[in-house]
Structure 1
Amino acid sequence: GISRKLLGDLKFLESLKTYDKENIPPAVMKRIRERFIEHPDFQPAVIKNVSSACEGLCKWVRAMEVYDRVAKVVAPKRERLKEAEGLLEIQMKKLNTKRAELKEVMDRLQALNDEFESMNNRKKELENNIEICSQKLVRAEKLISGLGGEKDRWTEAARLLGIRYTDLTGDVLLSSGTVAYLGAFTVDYRLECQKQWQVLCKEKHIPCSNDFSLSNTLGDP
């Protein structure tokens, strides 16, 4: 009567569904294994002939026994797995930290490589500029060397032109007098007159050349 009443109780069925299978008392499980699991009559196929409800309960008890047996094997593995996962998480954090540090180093290395390449390009550019400047310098030295001989001539020519410019007033005056008044006379007479006129120019403070020559003053230089 009690067994039938218990099996017919809906709360009993609910208690089976919500039974704490993770914490079955060892004493209870020991008793089940000693008295029921190995008993030849405690088989679902045998009990089915007596009661289908008891068959389900038999299956449930056997399932709890199997679960408890497996849980005792699996539980330590679960703990080790949990511990390993915790260690893995720690190591992954360390790995990610190292990866971030490595990325920072790689970025810095890339920046240095870019800077190195830029400096190399700048170096090549400067070397090309040096080569161009060297060639220009060689050409300039050749030009200066070629013009070096002209410097003395130009200096002397400038000095003479300065003197001639100063004496130009008197020389033009002497040339004008020679052309206007002495064309019909002999060379000696013209030269004598020119010397006298030179003396007069000096006395009047009119600059003129000491070696006055009509051809030098009016001729094509």
Structure 2
Amino acid sequence: MLEEARPLLENAENALKTIQPAAIATVRKLAKPPFLVMQIMDCVLILFQKKLDPTVWDAEKQFFKPSWGESLKMLNASGFLQNLMNYDRDSINEETVDLLAPYINYPKYNRAEAMRSSGDVAGLLLWTIAMSDFYWINRKVLPLKAALIIKERKLGEATASLNEAQKKLDEKQAELDVVQAMYDKAMGEKKILMDDAALCRRKMSSANTLISMLGGERVRWTAQSKEYLAQIERLVGDVLICTAFLSYSGPFNQEYRMNLRKVWEHDMDQRKMPYTDELNVTSMMIDEATVSIPSNFSRVTSAFACADLG
């Protein structure tokens, strides 16, 4: 879907590059600009969510009278072209596109007419059309972006936990190395200092006890570290399953959802993409604290909600 949007964005940016500051200055000075130029500026006002004049029908043009006064305010503002280049495309909503529709569907709202009326700002017309077309693709992408942000946050938390565990493991390993060095030194001195044998034996006993304790912890931390690494290796596959589930499984019943999931997992197996067997989508999307909200009826509600997710 991102690939579908890229040509639209490139066309929009190229269209804006054709507009020169001198062209904007020329339009700004027009005492009576062409009707199409005023329509184009109405579309710019709509995209930037600026105020429009009350709707008045122009019987001659068979269209609404433009809000040229408001358009002049925008044209006279500093950085007009830069604001177009930096426009937040994700802010476009369906209401904005609905407001643009009458303009874009107007028979003369096209590049050829714009070039004839005022070629200097024809690129601005193409930009408004591109922004409208971009919305229909982008609205499919936005939920995926939101899901990606959530997964990236979880990945960051998992990585932080892994780093903390690794730090503790390194600290204990350093302590173990120190104790091991003490033990080795004591063993070396035992052959030379027979008079201190009793003292050395006490040190050895203490050192052995500490080494045994730290050795057990090392096994646990090593296992925990490996598990975190395994989770990271499977994370892309797990996120893919969850993203596909959110995007496509909503309208279907449990049986069809399971069939879809088997198809996805089979495809990932063929691509040798690691993922968690029998992944619990519910636990990936909702933490246990949220599921276990204490109230008289929330357990039933949460149970049905989780069953619907899973």
Q: TM-score surpassing 0.5?
A: no
Q: TM-score with structure 2 length normalisation?
A: 0.33
Greater RCO (Cα-Cα under 8 Å, separation 6 or more): 2
Q: TM-score with structure 1 length normalisation?
A: 0.44
Decide which structure has greater helix share.
1
